[in-house]
Chains A and B, each alone.
Chain A
């Protein structure tokens, strides 16, 4: 008996192959994207971990303070494997003859690879007496630098020419961010140079600082060790203690990893829910159309359990086929994503592992989704009373005026055919709910990703058009004195120049500490906007503005006091928090420059110059002209940084584009199935209308209107749900690195609705073609026999 039922199952599936294909495609997408994103997350985590192990990356990096004391203390801590020190300095560098930029010189021993934070030499050789520096791979690629070329480094006595020994990769600079505040690097303006320690001894003390690098033994309480060493660092005057996870590069990459992890949960949820809905609709329709057969089976002695199992198998089979295709596809996708990603970031080695556990989880997901969606129709089939079912009468469905007609009485005067459209929407409650849920899922997917595009664009616009008003920033070879600033301001094309202090500082509250950059501006500056509570407010004469994330991270509010340490200029002060500035990129502290000067005992603390151009000035010409000035040591072009940020967003947009396409496929599959069921249920009505002389075109129009109306009903909750989903989706990514506020343009809502309507229209085309081909005679005959 079971084998015959299985044959029936196979033939039923063949008969409804396009509807089952739609279900299976949705399951395949869900499982493949789950496998792809989860494996990519695992592969990337493993790749980074392997690199950290190979290059013996520091588990803790402590900057500044009493280095010797910190080293001694760290060596005495159980769980610490090794301790070493190095010198690091951000100083002006010239590459390719005249391109001035900021170079981070990271000290490496003359004798050979450091014990901690080794470098992976990709070409050339380790530095020696004749060639003293290694260039980090991103910088080398950007400026086409190789072994044998030279760069110039600004020493106390002027520019020093250094020969390049090779190109290297580093685990701590996989993503070469300057700091947590400047997480998006501009390769034009900033690069990493690994230099012989002896070279760094020539660097002025204010530009260089010592770092203590510490590695941990395996199987230790890392969090406890982090906390202990952070205390040592604080007690010994260190400006910053950074665990491995908080390194700017690592933190940026972790954001991406978190994204992959989140996606590996979100995709199966959305796609399998959609597949479940489509299966439910399909099987409900199947059970309804097979009432007579079910009645006959049960009357002939089939147990309820057999009937239940038979219909449950449809869902399980759809899930199994989806899993068989989706799981290996996910494995392949995971490898492809991992390679593309590590390739884009120039990660030296990529670990790709085939994970049976991921495939197994995918299979379980697919089977559970298939079984759950088939559960209700299978139970309904098993509960049928044979005598009733064998009468073969399909319940006519409920009639009644819609609430819309009750609210809007003029609708009652609509032609009968349009009333049938209006009432058809609520005719089958389960199908209506399924369609609405399906549309909600599709809208959610589309709106979430489209919302991310909008939010990213708004984030970049706010940062580069509203917050940062300068066209460029220059570092001078000497102090940013009023005289030096005036000279810059007098250059052709410069509209305004202003001295700014850009200092490394620690902000401490009663409970926590945060290391950041403290920027000192003139109180009436127009080179930076301070957005507090949505308004552009002037910098206070006294007190400090802090980035919004510190409100939570330091546990403070406006009016509280914080302690600020700026070791480079010997400032140790307690300041009142005057406000929290809403800035998308980084978390800075801001004070008035005169106040900082006073706190530094009258010493000029300004070390950089911000400037704006006249409207006719050309950015490239300005870079060349200003970089050529002997007084200019390094040049940072705001536009280049902005271009770099937008360039990286290009990858993101491509990814979002793929997601939008997948959302469209999901919407198509789901709407196709519900519309198929809708029309299949009404074959006899359609036949009657055709027999009555109603043209096929008119019938198609009526069905289209009904289905579009049904889709539109799902759009409204979909937009609401999508907004909430996108809001919380982005909130996950908000940190001190990026502050993601959801912003969705009004046009995005419109385009989302249009996209869904297009998906609905496209998905019903094959169904409408079936209406066109409907053989009225056959339908009439079937019903008449």
Chain B
């Protein structure tokens, strides 16, 4: 079953001669449990693609079905509802709330979908941070903060995890730890992970590598043997 089903999706910013066509007729199908890495240079439309799939942005045209829900027919309130239960986001900048502890940052999202304290703690445990639950963001390293952000996205138990440049602010070792966690989300939990990055080395970790160029889908190539995080170099 396809978790993501995109048909001829376009996204244009602005109008007239200054209009920017960020995505041009993209077709993409992603199955449940796949770990997809989207690669492309800056301005290729990676983040736009991620935002469209996550319901943050609206497509200008084309069909967009995610987890069985047709996003092209939805208004903003509907998309908010969709984001709440169907996707989890992880951004390059962790955007943790500095006044809440690691556990409370996770709870913030858990409460949204009726998950309890133990489930929040379990989400933190899953990213190896149970012992840091009472620490505030200012007391955590960058990698730890990103892992809290992953736990925050996962606690809702969404079928789809959308990740935007997760290692952009991290060093190699810490980046590898985070990538390991993300890979485990797909392998262990059977969730679909769509990871957007400009770092070609990370492409080796994906079940499939999607390449974007100037808003067009340049290629979709499966990896016969996805690399483990420890094998990735950049």
A-side residues, CB < 8 A to B, are 396-400, 415-417, 419-420, 423-424, 427, 684-685, 687-696, 776-777, 780-781, 783-785
Instruction: Provide the residues of chain A in CB contact with B125, threshold 8 Å.
Output: none
- Tell whether, in the assembled complex, residue A420 and residue B99 are in contact, meaning their CB atoms are under 8 Å apart: yes
Give the interface segment out of B33-41, B76-84, B171-179. B76-84
- Tell whether, in the assembled complex, residue A423 and residue B99 are in contact, meaning their CB atoms are under 8 Å apart: yes
- Tell whether, in the assembled complex, residue B109 and residue A781 are in contact, meaning their CB atoms are under 8 Å apart: no
What is the chain A residue whose CB lies nearest that of B57?
Answer: A777
Chain B nearest CB, measured from A588 CB (Å): 63
Chain B nearest CB, measured from A236 CB (Å): 80
- Tell whether, in the assembled complex, residue B112 and residue A685 are in contact, meaning their CB atoms are under 8 Å apart: no
B-side residues, CB < 8 A to A, are 42, 47-48, 51, 54, 56-57, 77, 80-85, 88-89, 91-93, 95-101, 104-105, 107-112, 136-139, 152-153, 156, 164-165, 168
Give the number of A-B contacts (CB < 8 Å).
110
**Selected A-B contacts with CB under 8 Å, 30 pairs:** A396-B137, A397-B99, A398-B138, A399-B101, A399-B137, A415-B111, A416-B100, A416-B105, A417-B111, A419-B99, A420-B104, A424-B99, A684-B93, A685-B95, A689-B108, A691-B91, A692-B88, A692-B109, A693-B80, A693-B156, A694-B80, A777-B48, A777-B51, A780-B47, A780-B51, A780-B164, A783-B91, A783-B92, A784-B47, A784-B93
- Which 6 A-B pairs have CB atoms at the shortest separation, nearest pair first? A693-B84, A399-B136, A423-B99, A688-B95, A693-B83, A416-B107
- Tell whether, in the assembled complex, residue B83 and residue A691 are in contact, meaning their CB atoms are under 8 Å apart: yes
- Tell whether, in the assembled complex, residue A427 and residue B80 are in contact, meaning their CB atoms are under 8 Å apart: no
- Tell whether, in the assembled complex, residue B139 and residue A784 are in contact, meaning their CB atoms are under 8 Å apart: no
In whole angstroms, what is the CA distance A397 to B100 when docked?
11
* With A423-B100, A427-B98, A695-B80 as contacts: A780 and B111 at CB distance below 8 Å: no
Chain B nearest CB, measured from A746 CB (Å): 35
Instruction: Provide the residues of chain B in CB contact with A689, threshold 8 Å.
Output: 108
* With A777-B57, A780-B91, A781-B47 as contacts: A398 and B80 at CB distance below 8 Å: no
In whole angstroms, what is the CA distance A642 to B57 when docked?
69
9 more A-B contacts (CB under 8 A) besides A397-B138, A693-B82, A776-B51? A396-B138, A399-B136, A419-B99, A420-B97, A423-B100, A687-B95, A692-B89, A694-B84, A784-B91
Instruction: Provide the residues of chain B in CB contact with A688, threshold 8 Å.
Output: 89, 91, 95
What is the chain A residue whose CB lies nearest that of B111?
Answer: A415
What is the chain B residue whose CB lies nearest that of A412?
Answer: B104
- Tell whether, in the assembled complex, residue A692 and residue B56 are in contact, meaning their CB atoms are under 8 Å apart: no
Instruction: Provide the residues of chain A in CB contact with B100, threshold 8 Å.
Output: 399, 416, 419-420, 423
* With A396-B98, A417-B111 as contacts: A692 and B137 at CB distance below 8 Å: no
- Tell whether, in the assembled complex, residue B98 and residue A780 are in contact, meaning their CB atoms are under 8 Å apart: no
In whole angstroms, what is the CA distance A427 to B137 when docked?
13
Chain A nearest CB, measured from B96 CB (Å): 8
Chain A nearest CB, measured from B199 CB (Å): 13
What is the chain A residue whose CB lies nearest that of B145?
Answer: A396
What is the chain A residue whose CB lies nearest that of B85?
Answer: A693
In whole angstroms, what is the CA distance A455 to B104 when docked?
50
Chain A nearest CB, measured from B163 CB (Å): 11
In whole angstroms, what is the CA distance A423 to B98 when docked?
9
Chain B nearest CB, measured from A429 CB (Å): 12
Contact of B95 among A417, A423, A684, A694 (CB under 8 A): A684
What is the chain A residue whose CB lies nearest that of B11?
Answer: A777
In whole angstroms, what is the CA distance A647 to B146 when docked?
70
- Tell whether, in the assembled complex, residue A399 and residue B98 are in contact, meaning their CB atoms are under 8 Å apart: yes
Instruction: Provide the residues of chain B in CB contact with A776, threshold 8 Å.
Output: 51, 56
Chain B nearest CB, measured from A72 CB (Å): 85
Chain A nearest CB, measured from B51 CB (Å): 5
* With A420-B100, A423-B100 as contacts: A694 and B112 at CB distance below 8 Å: yes
- Tell whether, in the assembled complex, residue A784 and residue B98 are in contact, meaning their CB atoms are under 8 Å apart: no
- Tell whether, in the assembled complex, residue A783 and residue B109 are in contact, meaning their CB atoms are under 8 Å apart: no
- Tell whether, in the assembled complex, residue A416 and residue B138 are in contact, meaning their CB atoms are under 8 Å apart: no
What is the chain A residue whose CB lies nearest that of B96?
Answer: A396
Chain A nearest CB, measured from B140 CB (Å): 10
Chain B nearest CB, measured from A705 CB (Å): 14
Contact of A416 among B84, B111, B164 (CB under 8 A): B111
* With A396-B137, A416-B100, A695-B77 as contacts: A784 and B92 at CB distance below 8 Å: yes
Instruction: Provide the residues of chain A in CB contact with B98, threshold 8 Å.
Output: 396-399, 427
What is the chain B residue whose CB lies nearest that of A690?
Answer: B80
Instruction: Provide the residues of chain B in CB contact with A693, threshold 8 Å.
Output: 80-85, 109, 112, 156
- Tell whether, in the assembled complex, residue B80 and residue A696 are in contact, meaning their CB atoms are under 8 Å apart: yes
Instruction: Provide the residues of chain A in CB contact with B112, threshold 8 Å.
Output: 692-694
Instruction: Provide the residues of chain A in CB contact with B165, threshold 8 Å.
Output: 784
Instruction: Provide the residues of chain B in CB contact with A399, threshold 8 Å.
Output: 98-101, 136-139
What is the chain B residue whose CB lies nearest that of A776?
Answer: B56
Chain A nearest CB, measured from B223 CB (Å): 25
**Which among B56, B85, B92, B153 has the highest number of chain A CB atoms within 10 Å?**
B56
**Which among B48, B80, B92 has the highest number of chain A CB atoms within 10 Å?**
B80
